[in-house]
Structure 1
Amino acid sequence: MKILIIGGGISGLAVALALHRTGQDVTVFERSQEIHEVGAGLTIWPNAIRVLEQLGLGEVIPQIGMPAHYRTIRTWRGALLSQIEVDAIAGSPMRLMHRADLQGALLNALRAASVPIVLGARCTGFTQDEESVHASFADGRSADGDLLIGADGIRSSIRAQLFGTPNIHYTGYTSWRGIAEVEERYIPLGISSETWGVGRRIGLIPLIHGRMYWFAAYTTPEGQGKEQSPEERKQQVQSLFQGWHDPIAPILEATEASRFIRNDVYDIEPLTHWSQGRVVLVGDAAHAMSPNMGQGGCQAIEDAPVLAECLQSGSDLPTSLRAYEERRKPRTSRVARQSRRIGQLSQVNNPQLYTVRNVLVKALYTQALSKELKWLLQSTI
């Protein structure tokens, strides 16, 4: 089939690679004029690493991803609340990497395979009939294919045309992210850590080449602080986490103000369907979830081989797309629900409940999350 993929993020690139490897004729359309570095890190859990290995990136992953064997949670003073040994659950570590590095690895694989990637192509809509689908772009271009895949993120225009605007849910907190280049003594090697306070938390994710990715979340009304300058953002984040345990302060200080990225955090309510006719959704366009389990990118990567396999089934296209939905929807919905629960737990904004929350986390959280991770990391997709 001739397949049009709208969106050149990790989801679109992964599904393009999976489909190309099964012999499909794939073209990727990306609205940006260039695919450039975004100041964010990713936690790639073993469930997604297995898929990337299947896509031929097995040798690249260790070069771009820092292995992490433990996932920890601490109080703002540094006391340990929870520690999960990933290797004991999955048999291998997760990998911590810069989003741009993973995106670059997927791009390189596609370019080596001569898969067309069209930049500056903002899709403005599509039409379809029983024989084909037609995509239109803002610059007057158009393209025809047998299948169109919407991989254009949480605010997907493809999804909006298919099903209207979904219930995009504000989680109640905003986030900041950044990359710092710091001394090795500040980098907790082999550990992905979070620190939980009252209505705020911060995570530290070590990357290769002496870089530390961090993210912070703060319970606040939607849109608050949106108009701040980079310097004001840095000052606010440093103020929110002043006095917290090492190495939080030096990592924030080492981050250039221009690299403080602010975003309100959203997810979407589960969709009834992901496809209609010759159009289907993948990644955040289909199942955007909050980042609390570090599974948003992983679930997008998992979509790729399942869709490719279903399209090879020999069934007609609508039947193949329904099979893809039926295999993926229960899993992504469960991960999204769990991720939302963790967000609610971690962002407790009441000082009295904070103490109770910490007692419960220390007593029950490790066992409960380990059980959920065992299902997620050991089950097939």
Structure 2
Amino acid sequence: MIWYGDLAPVGNRISLESREECLLENQFGNYQYWLDSGTSALALALLDAKANFPDIDKPRAIIPGYCCPDLIAACVYAGVEAVAVDISPNDPSYDLAQLRLHLDSQVIAIIAVNFLGISERLDELSKLIADLHLRTRVIEDNAQWFPEEIGRAQFKSDYVTFSFGRGKPISLLGGGLLWAKEPVAANAAAHIEPSVHSSFTLKLKIAAYNLLLKPQFYQLLNRNPWLHLGETRYVPLEKIEALDAYRRTLLSVNFTRYSNRENRLSQFINKTVIDCGVQTLSDHCASRQKRLLRYPLLCPDSESRDRLLLELSAAGLGASPMYAAAIDQIAGVDGLVIVPHALVNAKNFAGRFMTLPVHEQVTQAYLARILAALSSFR
């Protein structure tokens, strides 16, 4: 509504307060690589994994059937074939039976996505690799999640990646991090170019971003039919750069803000959608859930999803379909991903899935309107 303004699907304000000391550098041990994007971090992990399999002519990496096309962009940059494997029914994690069918000595890596804060079944992936006597690396993709406390997170994967892009848990409008168990191979690290970003330009972009997150200003973008906000499409990765010095000085304060931010909105939404029967995510997701970037809502069918999405969107309440299709149907990926079996579960998931906002702009008034719309669902 005009007098309320529109909520963005995701995004918190970025602090411009600088500190020379980067607290997060103490979190990730010796082998940490601060880069210009989460996609670059993922590409560097793939380059290093590829360097560890010099005898494989056509290395492959497995990606989930419902995911961001940036995973394909990282694979293409690294010269690794992306193989899409279906997800589980009503669950964004891999269908382990399908994964087993396509896991062989040509697969150098499995990309395990932490989906909005719902982690992949990492122990089961590691066991599957061990049972098949393979050396396949596991890359934990945490672009949509970040640990809340320094020193508390423990990582088991060979590589762990994070993103500081727009709308991420800690957003700096760009930036990424790769943590690795071992130092990255020299021929992989050679891809990292120096940053060319200007601190003055970044300050202006961040100031504009903060302004546009306000519902009254975001409405001007959201209601413009020419902008296609939130549209998912493939964007190639052209190069890997180091994280610029200015963004590094913003990390500590923005991490502290992230850690201290209230995170109770998901609980209110969760109770409502369960009570009214609209949430059909697998019960297995709850045990793997950490702090949520957006609230994930899997409706009973595509018709009810479309109806609820239309109602919430028309009211400017920040609902989003996330990725509107399985990965092989995303614009621009044709010919860039191998799909050995139909992505039946991923297609079904995409047709029934949507997200609800849980960021700092969701005031009690907005929350009440979201809960009222959900409660009236039948």
Structure showing greater relative contact order (alpha-carbon pairs closer than 8 Å, 6 or more residues apart): 2
TM-score normalized by structure 1? 0.26
TM-score normalized by structure 2? 0.26
Give the helix-richer structure, 1 or 2.
1
Give the strand-richer structure, 1 or 2.
1
